């Protein structure tokens, strides 16, 4: 029988301090107060004084409440029974289903040995041309979706959850608006994808410490499923809320803040979550897509900035479209060489021309006379935006590539595209060549 | 040394507080006992009986009162034959062997020997009994890949020693006693093929340090021609995320003309290291015809691995580089990224509650960065041979803003600055090194007057480009417009390079010189182009042919055909030379 401590010496925010012995760093405890029980974990020890963060928050905890240490770190149940279920950040069911307590596994486990990793090689097709053609998503990749509040990022995530070619989805919601949580639930239920999905959801009204647990819970479960051979896609929304929760705890703990109040280990903390993305040789894989809202549309804000250095590229969501500039999938080179021979060249060529279009557009808006070349670019830009960038376009990669050639042929002569001659010979739409000859 | 023990009295993240009665030194290594496990840690502050240690592992499960064994030794690495081809973590644990023991995950508290103990090396002595030797002198050699690995007198042995015993030629393992030497006081020392050296102390067993002069060929056009790096020099690559820092380093590590490449992946993505890990053994080193891995050591402490070991990893890497420099070799150390290392320092500084400097980095940031880069250099060994360590470090500035402390501290001490620009990478112009903002203090492979001329064209082209944004194309004279097109052309076909094209990825010095001459001919030429649309068309066509030309094998039939085509195209429109070309014509 473990000892129960009934004297809490200080309560500051969500952090309480008790005098206890025989406790280990990171251990879990149960705090029993008038409002019910809550879990807490050890975050600092100094002599016999032990500081814990209370998952359900410090509010209502009294100095006379009981603290019982469990002698192990945070755990989550793992089995097939998790599928189709919805949990809170501390693993309590949200969907009125039974609590799961069998086969408990620890969260936040050690990282994968780099020598055991393999080179990513499989594309995850999504049916969204701006992803499949221009920035392919690759199994075991970690990618954030940088976005401003108000952009349809949750809609995009839901669409990816429905369409992505994976075995299962784990959705981790942090600081989610209740409406958004219901939106995800309903969309996936209607689309029949619920049975391959697990939710760990912290809504904006829930205690802040639970927000910190969501990524670890989601990823610990994902890791086990991946080891059993499943291709898992983890969707996290929104990582900025996660970072803000970390900031809140760090300030309560009187840590020296480094940049705009965030703790100095923000990078390492984010990295230890994102780096869980992996492709296990001979087993499954974890792929992570995480929404990161940029406060004030500022990519240099510490959260998107640190994220960008960790992840393998990023998608920018702006004006309801995935922006071709700035958006980058670093791993696309691994897969787009095998998809179709024109994939790479077409991708680069179209982006370069789109960049030129933007310049012409700027000139036009300043009232300059448009040259013939500018007019061609303007036409191209319009076609590109409507037939490629629009998020409602839902076509396979091959269809999208063909559509790309068509857009080019509608706007330019072959040598204006800057593409290599062999490719133009084999892919330039045949009817255009005939038209040209008959002229 | 007698072991000193202490007890844990506090834990805060990856820092523990320990109380001990014995003697302790700063930076000595201690082991925390947690159940069956021993976790490595380093003393970073001593106040009376209380010590602060940074733990190189996850601290979960450590309790108050746990025992800490203090070893009395500083953090060291093992030096000896067998380092090449290895993949280590920041503390020199071989990762593949670790994977064999523990499977997919890194288990804490497991430390393996860095050098394989079972391998037998073919030893040839180079001293005889009675010879006098000192630190850094060779006792003999063993073949390691294509190199003769020198078995040296440990760098810590100061003064002169007389060889009393030396093993005859034959096969031995690294821990066999190879020689016995006697110092001036008659005390004998037993020497094997390996010894330990503290990572934070530079190896200085050479005659003198020299100024770097010879260029290090990277086969990247913009680097070799415009922003060169010398053997023994230092350079940094700051850039916002996604600008291609790591790709640039990967390309350099493949093609650079040096003897050994050491890659320190410090706090960066594991996936990127894996590319190197899996690719290198398959790639053939054009210089030797053997696997590229035979000239490579990888030190890998990726972002999710413990933070304290990240700091150690750059020192481990530079120590290994210095060790091989003692054998008269040229070593290139690529550190990616030094910002992560600086952040590791910041995290520890925060836990120690030191007074923070700018952006909460510790006040000693600059001096630590400077002393790291100063470990690079070209040296003359006591044997008269030359060896060099070149250091290239990437910097990941917060928000891509070069004004931040780590970039600024680095710029003070390096010899070349390859600044990557978001603008260029967004426009898919790779490598995204900004040609006008970057600088280098080393000398180029191409005559400096010619390079200056080309740089001038770039500069003026950029000015015209800026002006055109305001006055439009119609407000620009045809002469200015031509300069703009020439600069754009130079950028497109020379500064940009396709690292995924087998031919274009690595361009020899010979080819760079050749190409640059054709290019100068265009840049300095006067052209018969009346209208802007003619001019644009001409340069578009020329660019197109040049791109095909860049992708053709050096001196192949295709190459000659394309070259002929290009020269005809130029001569068709060219009607002379511009007047301002005198500078490089004199040479």
Count up the domains in chain A and report the number. Answer: 3
> What kind and span of H or E run contains A349?
helix A343-365
Q: Where are the alpha helices (DSSP H) in B374-499?
A: 405-411, 422-426, 448-471, 478-490
pLDDT of residue B586: 47
More confident residue, B501 or A286: A286
Sign of the torsion angle spanned by Cα atoms A247, A252, A258, A259: positive
In order, the DSSP letters of B224-279 are IIIS--BTT-EEEEE--TTS-HHHHHHHHHHH--SSEEEEEEESS-HHHHHHHHHH
Average confidence (pLDDT) over A64-79 = 92
Say yes or no for a CB contact (<8 Å) between A314 and B270. no
Residue percentage of chain A with pLDDT more than 70: 98
Q: Which of residues 285 through 324 in chain A touch B, CB cutoff 8 A?
A: 299-302, 305-306, 308-310, 312-314
- A229 near B CB under 8 A: no
Of A73, A106, A129, the residue at which a domain comes to its end is A73
Predicted confidence (pLDDT) per residue in B215-256, tens digit: 999 999 999 999 999 999 999 999 988 788 888 998 999 999
Contact between residue B260 and residue B84 where contact means Cβ atoms under 8 Å apart: yes
pLDDT of residue B285: 82
Q: Among B12-16, B28-32, B321-325, B431-435, where is mean pLDDT lowest?
A: B12-16
More confident residue, B455 or A3: B455
Average confidence (pLDDT) over A39-43 = 91
- A264 near B CB under 8 A: yes
Say yes or no for a CB contact (<8 Å) between B279 and A119. yes
Same domain, A306 and A195: yes
Give the class (CATH, top level) of B79-110+207-438. alpha beta
- A363 near B CB under 8 A: yes
Of A273, A308, A333, the residue at which a domain comes to its end is A333
Same domain, A143 and A230: yes
Say yes or no for a CB contact (<8 Å) between B10 and A26. no
Enclosing domain of residue A120? 76-333
Residue A135 has pLDDT above 80, yes or no: yes
pLDDT of residue A436: 56
Residue percentage of chain B with pLDDT more than 70: 98
Same domain, A142 and A69: no
- B311 near A CB under 8 A: no
Residue B2 has pLDDT above 60, yes or no: no
pLDDT of residue B549: 93
Count residue pairs from A and B with Cβ separation < 8 A. Answer: 210
Same domain, A218 and A359: no
Q: Would B4-74 and B121-193 be classified into the same CATH topology?
A: no
Q: Which of residues 28 through 87 in chain B touch A, CB cutoff 8 A?
A: 58-64, 87
ipTM of the complex: 0.82
Nearest to A3 by CA among A68, A66, A49: A68
Buried b (16+ CB within 10 A) or exposed e, A345-370: bbbbbbbbbbbbbeebeebeeeebee
The yes/no answer on whether domain B121-193 falls in CATH 2.40.50.100 is yes
Beta bridge pairs of residue A172: A200, A236
User: Would you place residue A45 in the very low, low, confident or very high pLDDT band (cuts 50, 70, 90)?
Assistant: very high
Same domain, A195 and A311: yes
Give the distance from residue A82's alpha carbon to the nearest chain B alpha carbon, in angstroms. 24
Same domain, A185 and A277: yes
Nearest residue in A to B100, CA atom: A116
Beta bridge pairs of residue B151: B140
Which pairing describes strands B121-125 and B170-172: parallel, antiparallel, or unpaired? antiparallel
pLDDT of residue A437: 54
Q: Which DSSP category does A387 fall into?
A: I
HEC states along B376-388?
A: CEEEECCCCCEEE
Q: Is B10 helix (H, G, I), strand (E, B) or coil?
A: strand
CA distances from B548 to A52, A221, B322, B517, B542 (A): 65, 50, 42, 18, 10
Average confidence (pLDDT) over B167-193 = 94
A-interface mutation test, from B39, B58, B60, most A Cβ less than 10 A away: B60
Residue spans of the domains in chain B: they are: 4-74, 79-110+207-438, 121-193, 448-585
- A425 near B CB under 8 A: no
**Residues B4-74, CATH architecture:** Beta Barrel (2.40)
Predicted confidence (pLDDT) per residue in B341-362, tens digit: 998 898 888 888 888 888 889 9
- B381 near A CB under 8 A: no
Predicted confidence (pLDDT) per residue in A144-198, tens digit: 999 998 899 999 999 999 989 999 999 999 999 999 999 999 999 998 899 999 9
Buried b (16+ CB within 10 A) or exposed e, A319-329: eebbebbbbbb
Alpha-carbon span A384 to A378, nearest angstrom: 10
Residue B583 has pLDDT above 60, yes or no: no
Same domain, A178 and A108: yes
Residue B201 has pLDDT above 60, yes or no: yes
Domain of residue A92, CATH code:
3.40.50.12240
- A172 near B CB under 8 A: no
User: Would you place residue B1 in the very low, low, confident or very high pLDDT band (cuts 50, 70, 90)?
Assistant: very low
Of A24, A110, A363, Cβ closest to residue B61: A24
pLDDT of residue A1: 47
Alpha-carbon span A152 to A147, nearest angstrom: 9
Same domain, A319 and A394: no
Say yes or no for a CB contact (<8 Å) between A112 and B346. no
Predicted confidence (pLDDT) per residue in B505-551, tens digit: 999 999 999 999 999 999 999 999 989 989 999 999 999 899 889 99
Domain of residue A11, CATH code:
2.40.10.170
Same domain, A350 and A302: no
Contact between residue B406 and residue B342 where contact means Cβ atoms under 8 Å apart: yes
Q: Which of residues 186 through 205 in chain A touch B, CB cutoff 8 A?
A: none
The yes/no answer on whether domain B448-585 falls in CATH 1.10.1140.10 is yes
Predicted confidence (pLDDT) per residue in A422-433, tens digit: 888 889 987 766
Same domain, A69 and A80: no
More confident residue, B385 or B359: B385
Residue B587 has pLDDT above 80, yes or no: no
Beta bridge pairs of residue A235: A171, A289
- A48 near B CB under 8 A: yes
In order, the DSSP letters of A36-105 are EEEEEEEEEEETTEEEEEETT-STT--TT-EEEE-SS--EEE-SGGGTT-EE-TTS-BSSS-----SSEE
Predicted confidence (pLDDT) per residue in B114-134, tens digit: 999 999 999 999 999 999 999
Contact between residue B332 and residue B390 where contact means Cβ atoms under 8 Å apart: yes
What is the distance, to the nearest Å, from the Cα of residue B510 to the centroid of all Cα atoms in its chain?
25
Of A282, A314, A333, the residue at which a domain comes to its end is A333
pLDDT of residue A435: 60
Alpha-carbon span B456 to B473, nearest angstrom: 21
Which pairing describes strands A257-259 and A313-318: parallel, antiparallel, or unpaired? unpaired
Alpha-carbon span A367 to A369, nearest angstrom: 7
């Amino acid at each position: 029988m473990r000892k129960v401590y009934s004297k809490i010496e200080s309560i500051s925010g969500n952090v309480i301090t008790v005098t206890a012995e025989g406790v280990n760093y990171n251990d879990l405890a149960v705090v029993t107060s008038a409002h019910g029980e809550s879990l807490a974990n050890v975050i600092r020890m100094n002599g016999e004084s032990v500081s814990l963060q209370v998952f359900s928050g410090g509010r209502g905890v009294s100095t006379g409440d009981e603290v019982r240490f469990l002698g192990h770190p945070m755990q989550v149940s793992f089995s097939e029974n998790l599928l189709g279920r919805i949990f809170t950040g501390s693993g309590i069911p949200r969907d009125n289903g039974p609590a799961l307590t069998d086969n408990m596994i620890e969260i936040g486990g050690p990282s994968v040995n780099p020598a055991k990793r393999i080179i990513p090689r499989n594309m995850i097709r999504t049916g969204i041309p701006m992803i499949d053609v221009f920035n392919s998503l690759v199994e075991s990749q970690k990618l954030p979706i940088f976005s401003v509040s108000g952009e349809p990022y949750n809609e995009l995530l839901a669409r990816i959850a429905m369409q992505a070619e994976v075995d299962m989805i784990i959705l981790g919601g942090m600081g989610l608006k209740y409406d958004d949580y219901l939106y995800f639930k309903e969309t996936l239920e209607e689309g029949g994808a619920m049975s391959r999905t697990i939710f760990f959801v912290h809504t904006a009204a829930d205690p802040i410490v639970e927000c910190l647990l969501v990524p670890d819970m989601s990823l610990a479960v994902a890791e086990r499923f991946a080891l059993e051979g499943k291709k898992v896609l983890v969707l996290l929304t929104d990582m900025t809320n996660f970072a803000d929760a970390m900031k809140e705890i760090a300030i309560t703990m009187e840590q020296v803040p480094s940049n705009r109040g965030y703790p100095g280990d923000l990078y390492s903390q984010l990295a230890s979550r994102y780096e869980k993305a992996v492709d296990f040789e001979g087993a499954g894989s974890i792929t992570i897509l995480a929404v990161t809202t940029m406060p004030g549309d500022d990519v240099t804000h510490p959260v998107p900035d640190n994220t960008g250095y960790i992840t393998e590229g990023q998608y920018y969501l702006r004006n309801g479209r995935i922006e071709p500039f700035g958006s980058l999938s670093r791993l696309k080179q691994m897969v787009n060489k095998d998809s179709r021979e024109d994939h790479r060249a077409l991708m680069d060529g179209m982006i370069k021309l789109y960049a030129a279009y933007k310049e012409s557009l700027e000139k036009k808006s300043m009232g300059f006379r448009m040259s013939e070349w500018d007019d061609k670019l303007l036409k191209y830009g319009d076609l590109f935006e409507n037939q490629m960038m629009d998020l409602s376009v839902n076509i396979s990669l091959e269809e999208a590539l063909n559509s790309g050639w068509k857009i080019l042929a509608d706007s330019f002569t072959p040598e204006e595209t800057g593409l290599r001659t062999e490719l133009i010979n084999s892919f330039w739409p045949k009817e255009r060549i005939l038209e040209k000859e008959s002229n | 040394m007698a072991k000193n023990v202490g007890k844990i009295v506090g834990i805060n993240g990856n820092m523990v507080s320990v109380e001990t009665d014995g003697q302790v030194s700063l930076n000595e290594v201690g082991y925390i006992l947690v159940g069956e496990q021993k976790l490595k840690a380093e003393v970073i502050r001593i106040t009376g009986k209380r010590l602060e240690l940074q733990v190189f592992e996850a601290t979960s499960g450590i309790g108050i009162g746990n025992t800490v064994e203090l070893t009395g030794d500083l953090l060291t690495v093992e030096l000896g034959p067998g380092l090449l081809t290895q993949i280590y973590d920041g503390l020199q644990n071989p990762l593949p062997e670790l994977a064999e023991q523990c499977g997919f995950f890194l288990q804490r508290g497991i430390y393996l020997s860095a050098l394989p103990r079972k391998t037998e090396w073919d030893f040839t002595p180079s001293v005889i009994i009675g010879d006098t030797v000192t630190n850094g002198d060779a006792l003999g050699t063993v073949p390691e890949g294509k190199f003769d690995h020198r078995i040296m007198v440990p760098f810590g042995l100061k003064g002169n020693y007389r060889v009393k015993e030396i093993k005859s030629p034959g096969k031995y393992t690294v821990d066999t006693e190879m020689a016995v030497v006697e110092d001036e006081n008659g005390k004998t020392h037993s020497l094997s093929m390996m010894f330990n050296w503290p990572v934070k102390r530079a190896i200085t067993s050479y005659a003198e340090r020299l100024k770097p002069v010879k260029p290090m060929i990277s086969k990247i056009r913009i680097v070799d021609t415009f922003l060169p790096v010398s053997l023994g020099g230092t350079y940094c690559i700051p850039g916002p995320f996604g600008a291609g820092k790591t790709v640039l380093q990967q390309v350099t590590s493949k093609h650079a003309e040096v003897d050994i490449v050491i890659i320190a992946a410090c706090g960066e993505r594991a996936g990127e290291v894996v590319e190197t890990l899996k690719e290198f053994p398959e790639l053939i080193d054009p210089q030797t015809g053997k696997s590229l891995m035979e000239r490579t050591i990888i030190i890998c402490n990726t972002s999710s691995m413990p933070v304290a070991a990240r700091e150690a990893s750059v020192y481990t890497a530079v120590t290994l580089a210095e060790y091989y420099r003692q054998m008269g070799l040229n070593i290139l150390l690529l550190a990616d990224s030094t910002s992560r290392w600086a952040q590791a320092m910041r995290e520890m500084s925060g836990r120690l509650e030191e007074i923070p400097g700018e952006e909460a980095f510790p006040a000693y940031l600059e001096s630590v960065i400077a002393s790291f880069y100063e470990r690079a250099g070209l040296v003359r060994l006591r044997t008269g041979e030359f060896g060099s360590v070149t250091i290239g470090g990437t910097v990941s500035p917060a928000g891509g803003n070069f004004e931040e402390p780590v970039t600024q501290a680095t710029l003070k001490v390096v010899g070349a600055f390859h600044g990557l620009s978001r603008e260029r990478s967004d426009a898919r112009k790779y490598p995204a090194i900004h040609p006008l903002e970057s600088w280098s203090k080393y000398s180029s492979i191409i005559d400096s007057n010619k390079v200056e001329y080309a740089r001038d064209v770039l500069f003026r082209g950029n000015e015209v480009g800026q002006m055109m944004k305001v006055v439009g194309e119609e407000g620009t004279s045809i002469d200015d417009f031509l300069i703009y097109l020439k600069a754009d052309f130079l950028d497109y076909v020379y500064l940009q390079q396709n690292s995924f094209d087998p031919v274009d990825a690595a361009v020899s010095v010979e080819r760079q010189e050749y190409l640059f001459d054709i290019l100068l001919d265009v840049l300095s030429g006067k052209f018969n182009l009346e209208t802007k649309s003619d001019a644009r068309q001409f340069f578009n066509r020329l660019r197109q042919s040049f791109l095909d030309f860049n992708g053709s094998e050096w001196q192949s039939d295709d190459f000659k055909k394309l070259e002929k085509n290009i020269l005809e195209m130029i001569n068709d429109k060219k009607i002379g030379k511009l007047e301002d070309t005198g500078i490089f014509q004199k040479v």
